[in-house]
Amino acid sequence: MQQLEQTLKTALQAAAQAVFNQDIPAASLVLQPTRKDFAGSFTLVTFPLTKAFGKGPEQIGQALGEWLKANEPAVRGYNVVKGFLNLEIADAEWLKLFTELAQQPAGTPVPFDGPKKVVVEYSSPNTNKPLHLGHLRNNFLGYSVAEILKATGATVTKANLVNDRGIHICKSMIAYQRFGEGATPESMGLKGDHLAGKYYVLFEKHYREEIKQLEAEGVTNEVAKKQAPLMLEAQQMLQQWEAGDEEVMALWHRMNGWVYDGFNATYANIGVDFDKFYYESGTYLLGKERVEEGLQKGVFFKKENGSVWVDLQAEGLDEKLLLRADGTSVYITQDLGTAELKYQDFGYDSSIYVIADEQNYHMQVLQATLKKLGKPYADAIHHLSYGMVDLPSGKMKSREGTVVDADELVKEVEEAAEAATLEKGKTEGLSEEELADLYHTLGLGALKYYLLKVDPKKRMLFNPAESVRLEGDTGPFIQYSYARISKIRRDAEATGVAAEADFSQLGSLHPAEAELIQQLAGYAGVVAEAARALSPAVVAQYAYEVAKSYNRFYTEVPILKEADLVKKTFRVALSAKTADTIKASLGLLGIDVPERM
């Protein structure tokens, strides 16, 4: 594709030289795919050339088009609409392009001028409650971005920074001590993360009651929040934890162990993985060292009460607390430690943080603070800031019980996929296990595509009914195209249609064939663009467009029913390449493809 575009650009430069005696830099040639409603495959926008050439845009288009048609074999014809020169490409050129594509093995790195060593940190859950819908967008984004960068040939480490310490964990622990009665995941028949989450909710419930009680006694809300016995206990426990109190540590290990079991089950189920786990409990001390370093360098300062701050007003930010007066750390303390640890471990040239956009300010502060410390990796930090997921009823709030649980949601989409599959009745002969796999593949395909097709930067609305849809602009729509091609491949193989052949005697191409080839050739450019923008949505859209182009091709031209053997073979090969491209694209999104559905 790049090559074809390059050929056209070079030819256009030659044309400008020959017809107008003008030297034009390749960069000033605006060449783009032609819009569907017009004839042709590539379009040159001629408006920008009018000044230099001293001619009207249409005149320029006509002259350049005429020259290309006469002198450039790749150009079969042209038409000019206003300031747009539409170039029609010769069939031989498409065939050449397809032959090259078909020979390219799957997994060939996509050319991309970007980072070579990348750490993608994503998921990063708190260990006091199970994963929810918001985490799913995070996990799918992080996994996909990592896969996209890998496809450009970069070495990528997927990292998960587990937020395993802090006041919120203590809340679950306090509630368990009080109300747990020795319950375990086994005794309750509950996943460990759900069990811990249960006690977190219990804490919040009783804590609210205590506040109400205090308020009734005439204490202001603000004071009540601080003086409620449960909160005091939780804070005391946090200090005991930092002091290494044996009993507290034992409980902490026990409950976190349950939660990790639960998380690992969920990760395996949704098909995301990690190369490296970091734990806040293992990085906050290093963070404290960095704070000390900053004090010594004089870039941080201490307030009268002993708390440590950094002044970022010159950077357009505020003063920021780095260490509390009592010496306990805050979020950013451990972030300083983790950033350093990751750099020591992997020496990245890009460190991507997949974190919701509510943390935009925090991430700016982190980067500015690392710069103050003079850290070489400060500039490599990149916040992949994604929008929150809203529900039709409004924002998700765990305290109000309006969260959508990840495990339950996955189950629901699988059930929807099962219902639809049974209704279609095309899966005769599949075993129970194969069917379960299929429902999983389809359900997750629907969910992942639904969450990834939206531009990450944008806040999105989660509509439960739409997330399990299997028709139209959905994952299963694309998976269906793949499954249909799989059938063709099986039948072709059974009837002995060769996978490879010489297509030089093919004759003319059907427009749907040319369009499909152009579409397939765009894969590398799409992946590069997705890597640049860190946007799986670019890939999702592409996969959908490929599936649509194929479906059009499928209805318009016969494949296995084609009598001409060369044509038949070519169309089978074109179908196969389409299937491979779909598989690769969806693979970058973490979506599997079924051979049958």
Partner RNA sequence: GGUUGCAUAGCUCAAUUGGAUAGAGCAUCUGACUACGAAUCAGAAGGUUUGGGGUUCGACUCCCUAUGCGACCA
Which of the stretches 29-37, 94-102, 171-179, 271-279 binds RNA when contact is defined by CB under 7 A? 29-37
Backbone angles phi, psi at 109, to 5 degrees: -60, 140
Pick 46 or 256: Cβ nearer RNA: 46
Assess 332 for contact with RNA (CB under 7 A).
no
Which of the stretches 9-17, 180-188, 214-222, 358-366 binds RNA when contact is defined by CB under 7 A? 358-366
Give DSSP secondary structure letters for 210-267.
HHHHHHHTT--HHHHHHH-HHHHHHHHHHHHHHHT-HHHHHHHHHHHHHHHHHHHHHH
Pick 44 or 195: Cβ nearer RNA: 44
Alpha-carbon gap, residue 301 to 338, rounded angstroms: 22
DSSP annotation of 28 reads G
Which of the stretches 78-86, 159-167, 218-226, 249-257 binds RNA when contact is defined by CB under 7 A? 78-86
**284-289 contacts: CB < 8 A, separation 24 or more?**
284/165, 284/329, 284/333, 284/334, 284/337, 285/337, 286/336, 286/337, 286/338, 286/340, 286/341, 287/329, 287/332, 287/333, 287/334, 287/335, 287/336, 287/337, 287/338, 288/323, 288/329, 288/333, 288/337, 289/337
Backbone angles phi, psi at 458, to 5 degrees: -90, 140
Of 32, 71, 104, 108, the residue at the interface with RNA (CB under 7 A) is 32
Assess 48 for contact with RNA (CB under 7 A).
yes
Would you call 161 helix, strand, or coil by DSSP? strand
Of 210, 242, 261, 357, the residue at the interface with RNA (CB under 7 A) is 357
* Burial of residue 440 (number of CB atoms within 10 Å: 0-12, 13-18, 19+): buried
Q: Which residues is 349 bridged to in the sheet? A: none
Non-local (6+) Cβ contacts of 474 within 8 A are 446, 449, 450
Assess 455 for contact with RNA (CB under 7 A).
yes
Q: Which of the residues 403 through 432 are near RNA (CB under 7 A)?
A: 417, 420-421, 424, 426
Assess 484 for contact with RNA (CB under 7 A).
yes
Cα 442–chain centre separation: 18
Give the containing element (helix H, strand E) for 133.
helix 133-151
Shortest Å distance, C-beta 552 to RNA: 4
Of 2, 26, 38, 212, the residue at the interface with RNA (CB under 7 A) is 38
Pick 480 or 503: Cβ nearer RNA: 480
Of 86, 126, 127, 139, the residue at the interface with RNA (CB under 7 A) is 86
Which of the stretches 80-88, 243-251, 270-278, 398-406 binds RNA when contact is defined by CB under 7 A? 80-88
Of 358, 400, 502, 564, the residue at the interface with RNA (CB under 7 A) is 358
Assess 33 for contact with RNA (CB under 7 A).
yes
Assess 596 for contact with RNA (CB under 7 A).
yes
Shortest Å distance, C-beta 307 to RNA: 12
Pick 194 or 571: Cβ nearer RNA: 571
Which of the stretches 153-161, 249-257, 347-355, 450-458 binds RNA when contact is defined by CB under 7 A? 450-458
Whose CA is closest to 492, among 406, 561, 589?
561
Give the containing element (helix H, strand E) for 594.
none
Shortest Å distance, C-beta 395 to RNA: 6
Alpha-carbon gap, residue 574 to 579, rounded angstroms: 9
Non-local (6+) Cβ contacts of 52 within 8 A are 22, 24
Shortest Å distance, C-beta 336 to RNA: 17
Pick 142 or 594: Cβ nearer RNA: 594
With b for 16 or more beta-carbon neighbours within 10 A and e for fewer, the 441-475 pattern comes to: bbbbbbbbbbbbbbbbeeebebeeeebbbbeebbb
Of 458, 498, 499, 564, the residue at the interface with RNA (CB under 7 A) is 458
* Burial of residue 572 (number of CB atoms within 10 Å: 0-12, 13-18, 19+): buried
Q: How far is CA 46 from CA 11, 178, 265, 419, in A?
A: 15, 75, 57, 53
Assess 30 for contact with RNA (CB under 7 A).
yes
Pick 132 or 469: Cβ nearer RNA: 469
Give the containing element (helix H, strand E) for 13.
helix 2-15
Assess 435 for contact with RNA (CB under 7 A).
no
Pick 245 or 412: Cβ nearer RNA: 412
Whose CA is closest to 266, among 380, 360, 160?
160
Of 21, 36, 253, 305, the residue at the interface with RNA (CB under 7 A) is 36
Pick 241 or 554: Cβ nearer RNA: 554
Mask 263-282, x = binds RNA (CB under 7 A)? --------------------
Of 34, 334, 338, 351, the residue at the interface with RNA (CB under 7 A) is 34
Shortest Å distance, C-beta 157 to RNA: 26
Shortest Å distance, C-beta 207 to RNA: 20
Of 23, 25, 37, 246, the residue at the interface with RNA (CB under 7 A) is 37
Shortest Å distance, C-beta 458 to RNA: 5
Q: Which of the residues 459 through 478 are near RNA (CB under 7 A)?
A: 459-461, 463, 466, 469-474, 476-477
SS3 per-residue string spanning 183-225? CCHHHHCCCHHHHHHHHHHHHHHHHHHHHHHHHHCCCCHHHHH
Shortest Å distance, C-beta 376 to RNA: 27
Alpha-carbon gap, residue 373 to 368, rounded angstroms: 9
Pick 185 or 443: Cβ nearer RNA: 443
Pick 48 or 282: Cβ nearer RNA: 48
Q: Which of the residues 531 through 560 are near RNA (CB under 7 A)?
A: 533, 537, 541, 544, 548, 551-552, 554-555, 557-560
Q: How many residues interact with RNA (rule CB under 7 A)?
A: 75
